[in-house]
A = this chain, B = another copy of it.
Amino acid sequence: MTVVIYDPTLRDGHHAVRHQLDAEQLREYAQAADTARIPVVEVGHGNGLGASSLQAGPAKLSDEEMLETVRAALPNSKMAAFLLPGWGTTADLRMAVAKGADIVRIGAHCTEADITERHLGWLREQGVEAQGVLMMSHMADPARLAHEAAKLVSYGAGAVGIMDSAGHYLPEDVTERITAIREAAGVPVLFHGHNNLGMAIANSVAAVRAGATIIDACARGFGAGAGNTQLEVLVPVLERLGHPTGIDLYGLLDAADVAGRVLMPAPPTIDSVGVVSGLAGVFSGFKARVLDVARREGVDPRDVFFELGRRQAVAGQEDLIVDVALALAGRGATS
C-alpha cells in the first residue's frame, strides 16, 4: 500500500526555533524537499495560520510571506497550511488559498471536532482539499475518536486523523485508534507522531499497518520537545516494509542534511522532561512553566507533570500548573 508523506518540517518543526525561520531558510529546505519528491510540504507558524502573536510568539515572517516563499520553491510538491480555530479565521483561509495552499488542515482538541465545522465547510465550498486533525488524541478512547472523526468528515474533511501531541502512544494504542477511525471515516486516515517515548517510527508503522495512508514526518525529527517522527528514517523503513512513498532516498537524505545545516542548531533529543511529559500525556510546551513553578514552590517538576496528566490538563490550562505545584507543596486547595 502506498503511503503519502506530509512534511510539516517548516510548520510543526517551526516550534523548535520559536517560529524564527527566515525566507532563505524556508526556500532552501522547500527546494530540497521538492527535489526529493516529497509530495506535500506544510509551512507556517507552529500553531498555524493567524497564530503569530504576542501570546503564541511572533513568527519572523508573516503568514503571507511564508506561503509565498514556499510556494515559489515548490514546482512539483503540493503546499499545505494548518489552522486552529481560535487562532485562525476564515479570512486566513482565504489568504492561504489565494497564496497557493493546495491543502488546508484544520486542527481541534480530540473531543472538539465541532469547532471545525465552519472552516471545513468554507474550504469545501471553495473546492479546496480540506483535512481534519484531532490533537492530544490519547485523551480520548478509540470510539470517541471515531465519532469525532466522522463529524470532521461530515463537515467536509477529505481526510481525517490524529496527532499524538504528547508523544504518549505505544504502537498498540495507535493500531486500535487508527483502526476505529478508518472503520468510521470512509476517507483517507492520517497519523502524526511525536518521539517522547522513542516510538515515533514504530507508531507510524503501526498506523500504516492499521490502514492510515497519510503520515506526517519532519526532517531530522525537527519539532517541539522530543521532536516529531524523523522523516528520513521513516521513509526507508516504510519502503523496506513494502510501503512505497514515491520519495527519492538520496534526495531525502540531502533534504535532511539541508535541514541540519540551515534550519536548526541541533536536532531534538529525548531529555528527561520529554520522557516524563510523554509518560504523563502532557503537552511538552508546558516544560518551561513547569520547571519554573516547581523550582519556586520547591516541588519535583516530574510530580507536577504526572499530576497534570492525571488532571487531563491541555494547552491553555497553564494556570493549572500553579494549582498543582501548590497542592504538591501542601499549600493549595487540592482538587
Contacts and interface: CB of A to CB of B under 8 A. Distances in A.
B230 A170 contact: no
Given A198-B230, A232-B275, A269 B220 contact: yes
Contacts of A270: 221, 230, 233
A201 interface: yes
A221 B198 CA distance: 10
Contacts of A121: none
Interface string A187-202: 0000000010111111
Interface range for A: 35 or more
Interface stretch (A22-30, A75-83, A249-257): A249-257
Contact of A198 (B200, B250, B266): B200
The interface residues of chain A, by DSSP majority, are classed as: helix
A97 interface: no
B234 A279 contact: no
A240 B170 contact: yes
A302 B253 contact: yes
Question: Taking the full assembly, how many copies of this chain does it contain?
Answer: 2
B275 A253 contact: yes
Given A202-B171, A302-B250, A237 B272 contact: no
Contacts of A233: 197-198, 270, 275
Interface string A161-198: 00000000011000000000000000000000001011
A246 interface: no
29 contacts: A170-B237, A170-B240, A171-B202, A197-B201, A197-B233, A197-B236, A197-B237, A198-B202, A198-B233, A198-B237, A199-B201, A199-B202, A202-B202, A220-B269, A221-B269, A221-B270, A230-B270, A232-B272, A233-B270, A233-B275, A236-B275, A240-B279, A250-B302, A253-B272, A253-B302, A257-B272, A266-B266, A266-B269, A267-B269
The 6 closest A-B pairs by CB, nearest first: A202-B202, A198-B201, A253-B272, A198-B233, A267-B269, A236-B279
